[in-house]
Every structure is written in C-alpha cells, then in structure tokens.
Structure 1
C-alpha cells in the first residue's frame, strides 16, 4: 500500500511539473508571437503582420473611432505599411494568462512607442501549433496627475463625438 501511495504521489508531482512546464512553454510562445507581431509592423511586413491575426480579429486603436474588423484595419493600415514603416511598439512589461484548455490566452502589456508609453491588451487563440491575435486594444496612458489637463484638450473634440455616438432615447 505504501508503495502504491508513493507511486501515485510521484506520478502526481511529475504530471504537475509537466503541466507547469507546458504553461511556461506556451507563455514563451505567446511572448514570441506578440514580439514578432510588433516587429512585423515596425518593419512594414504587411502580410506577416496580418497573417498573425485571426480572420475574425478586432483591433481597437487609441482614437475613439478606431474599432475595426480585420478588413477595415488592413485598409486603414495599408498606407502606413506601404511607406515602409507602420508603427514601432516594444514591450517593456507583459502579463499573460491562459484558460484551462490552454488554447486561449489573454494579456496586457506596457509598450515603448512613438506615443511614449502605451498599454496594449488582447486575446490570442491557438490554432494548430500557432498563436494568433484575435482581439487587440491599444490605449495611451495618462498619468493621474495630468488627467485634468488632458480632458481640457480632448473635451471639445470628444463632446462632439459623444453627441454623435450617444444612443437616441
């Protein structure tokens, strides 16, 4: 009985260790995918960049009007890629999480960009052996102490948008 218990304990530890290794390996793959995706934009590799997104991907940019499906985002981005450099985002911090199946990952990241520090967040899905970006949100960060100054700048523009976008009741 003692040998059976010891065998089960060792098997459980080995299984747990394998599970931890797999999540660590998947985290590394997600990191590599996101880094390669950002690099493809910086190098204006249109097909590579958009090939790393799902066909039903959504991209939400920093402007309140930027909420695109894949085709609309491609149309918006193409002129930038055609100029030889789209945008350059480099992760300076990233957190990655997985669902129980290991086929869905979500993340948040701080990015060094031409707009200074931005925050990206999104969802990736594993298709076959590849991770693909399904949903991405890019936000500019504003230090709390400067919020009132920023609101004064954007209020005239966004008040108009709010009136246009607000549902009529």
Structure 2
C-alpha cells in the first residue's frame, strides 16, 4: 500500500511539473508574439528577425504568400514610417509538440485598419529562442455578410486590370 501511495504521489508530482512547464512555455510564447506584433506597431526591423530564415507569411490577399526576405522587401515601405501595422491579440490558444520544439497557435486580433482578424502560426524553439516558421493572417468575416463579401471579391476579380 505504501508503494502504491508513493507511486501515485510521484505521478501527481510529474503531472503538476509538466503543467507548470506548459504554463511557463505558454507565457513565453505569448510574450514573444505580443512583442512581434509590437515590433510592427512601432516599425522595428526586429519584427523580421523573429521570422525564421525559411519562414513563410501569408497575408489576407490571395497573392500574399511570402518567404521572410520577400516579405521584408515588400513591407520595407511600411517600416520606413513610425508605425507599420497594429495587431493586438485579444485571445490566443497555444499548443506544443511532445518535445516542445514546435509550438502552434491561433489568435484573434483587433486591428484598427482591417477590423477583427484571425491568425494561426507555427513557432520553432531553437537554442537561440523562438522563430516563426509559418504565419497566416485572415480577416474575420461574419457569416451574415459572407455573401456580400463574396460578391465584392467576384466583382474585384472580374474588373479590368488597372482599375
């Protein structure tokens, strides 16, 4: 009986330790992502350093699929100002691979220019810290207006070039 109690105690202690580690890692990821969004809001080039060299950024337009350096070149004009874009996470869910080397997340974003957005991403944990390997941004379109949005998209796609 004594051995069974010790085994149960060790199991509970192990579960508690993993929960504490997961909570700590979640806080680190939240801080990293919040800082990344803040880098853009203040046009700090450190924003791009947080994206892995092989990282991909997918924007809201169907043509916006960039590797980091292409994205950096495209966004240069925005980062030459005092502020590029402002995304503030209002909710974020964080998940981990069993070895904690890969982290994926989804977030709801408050943006002054695009309204509510959603994003998801994958982060790689390295010896030097975190790096974003994949990020996808999308506008959160309410179901009630989806038909109107689809109509506008079709109209924009059928319009002559340069219009």
Give the TM-score category using the shorter length.
over 0.9
| TM-score for the superposition, normalised by structure 1 | 0.89
Look up the match of 1:138.
137
Equivalent in 56, 70, 89 of residue 58 of structure 1? 56
Gaps of at least 5 residues in structure 2 are none
For structure 1, which runs of at least 5 residues remain unmatched after alignment?
161-169
**Retained in 2: the 8 A contact 1:29–1:131?**
no
CA distance in 2, matches of 1:57, 1:71: 9
Runs of 4+ in 1 over 3 A off after TM superposition: none
Structure 1 residue 85 displacement after superposition? 1.0
1:137-161 deviation digits (Å, cap 9, x = unpaired): 010111111111111111033358x
The Cα offsets for residues 42-64 of structure 1, whole Å up to 9 and x where unpaired, read as 00001x11111111100000011
Matched residue, 2:120: 121
Inter-partner Cα distance in structure 2 for 1:150 and 1:5: 62
SS in 2 for 1:58: strand
CA RMSD in angstroms comes to 1.3
Quick check: which one's helix share is greater? 1
